[in-house]
Amino acid sequence: MPSLRLDWLTRLRAGRTPGLPQAVQAPLLAADEIAGLAVQAELLAEAQPAREVHDHHAGDWSSPWLGHGLDFEESRPYVTGDDIRDMDWRTTARTGRAYLKSYREERQPTLHLVIDREASMRFGTRRRLKVAQAARVATLLAFAAAGHNAAIGGTLWDSADLDLPPLHGRGGALALIEATARPCPPLPDAAITEPVHYLDRLIALDAGLPRGAELILLSDFAWLTEAHEPLLARLAERMDLFAVQINDPAERALPEVGLARFHDMTRGDDIWVDTGHAAERAAYAAAFRNRQAAVANHLARAGVRHINLGSEVDDLLPLLLHHA
């Protein structure tokens, strides 16, 4: 598809910033890689069942939520505040207790992908940046959802956050992928986002997304603290929430390169580390494991399902199929 690939390159290159080196202005995903992910998405879409979620518009998919609709679901006891227009008078007369009719709503499935493009995600030592891996996952899932005619939207957590409204089918997938694949050069220390800002971001997701939507967070969760658990728990209660935590090989095991200077992209500090010492590398690996355990505990307490994904992994299908 030469014309499609050329169009992708033209649109992605349009987001470049004058004055920055060309190497850091390249799109996160090349057109050939996007085309390859689209092919893989067909396999993922075939393996995935149609998800029972809903959007703002009525459609052809059953929702797991009960309410007003065409298909009778069940009778349940009346609760103070229920609409008496839905009273099940026959059951009420037969049992002597007030009963209400519930219906299965028909809705259009909604997929909302959140891609973290903050400072710590703009790091990578093997194959690609962590944010590029997030873009690959988002592309694969968006194309797969388009195969189910879902409404696809997203949010890019960046120096200036970008919200993409849900669009149905392939148009929604392409709009999300175009935004996700744009260049992602290093951020200046002044642009580093404090963890407190993620509270506002989670509040915005809760306010802006419909109940029953499928919400996927793609991040390294370097920002995650106990303070975020209540909001994540609310999102998990209202939606089908799934988290993909992305890490880099150099974060899991410190490479042995002698005395080296490291820059903390979340705090803006520089530190010298002698990587030639086995004790230093062991302490570093232990600190990483402790942090991973803390993130897993935060997500588990909030009721959020999650997986870990290395930024160097090329074949995403086995992992995503296993957790589909």
DSSP-derived letter for residue 314 is -
Instruction: Quote the number of domains for the chain.
Output: 2
Amino acid at 40: Q
pLDDT for 267 equals: 67
- Write down the H helix ranges in 191-316: 195-208, 229-238, 249-252, 278-301
Same domain, 200 and 237: yes
Q: 224: domain CATH number?
A: 3.40.50.410
Query: What would the mean pLDDT of 137-150 be, rounded to a whole number?
Result: 92
Residues 199 and 273 in one domain: yes
Which residue range(s) make up the domain with 80? 61-106
Residues 254-275, mean pLDDT to the nearest whole number = 79
CA dist 179 and 15 (Å) reads 9
Predicted pLDDT at 213? 93
Q: What share of the chain in percent tops pLDDT 70?
A: 77
Stretch 26-30: mean pLDDT = 90
DSSP 29-50: S-HHHHHHHHHHHHHHHHHSPP
All residues at 6 or more sequence positions from 150 whose CB lies less than 8 Å from its CB, including other chains = 51, 108, 109, 110, 111, 168, 169, 172, 214
Stretch 237-250: mean pLDDT, rounded? 95
**pLDDT above 90 coverage of the chain, percent:** 48
17 pLDDT tier (thresholds 50, 70, 90): very low
3-class DSSP state of 241:
strand
Note whether 82 and 132 are same-domain residues: no
Examine the fold and report which residue of 74, 89, 106 is the final residue of a domain before the chain moves on.
Answer: 106
- Residue 287's identity, in one-letter code, is A
Could you give the C-alpha distances from 291 to 77, 191, 194, 295, 301, in angstroms and in order?
47, 24, 18, 6, 15
- Would you say residue 239 has pLDDT above 60? yes
Rounded to two decimals, what is the model's pTM? 0.75
**Same structural domain for residues 102 and 79?**
yes
Res 241: pLDDT: 97
pLDDT tops 70 at residue 84: yes
**Measured distance CA(150)–CA(61) in Å, rounded:** 10
Q: Element (H or E) spanning 63, and its range?
A: strand 61-67
Q: Give residue-wise pLDDT tens across range 183-214.
A: 988 777 655 666 668 999 999 999 999 888 99
pLDDT surpassing 80 at residue 158 = yes
Cβ atoms of 306 and 237 within 8 Å: the answer is no
pLDDT at position 65: 41
The answer to whether residue 179 scores a pLDDT higher than 90 is yes
Q: Which helix (H) or strand (E) holds 131?
A: helix 130-147
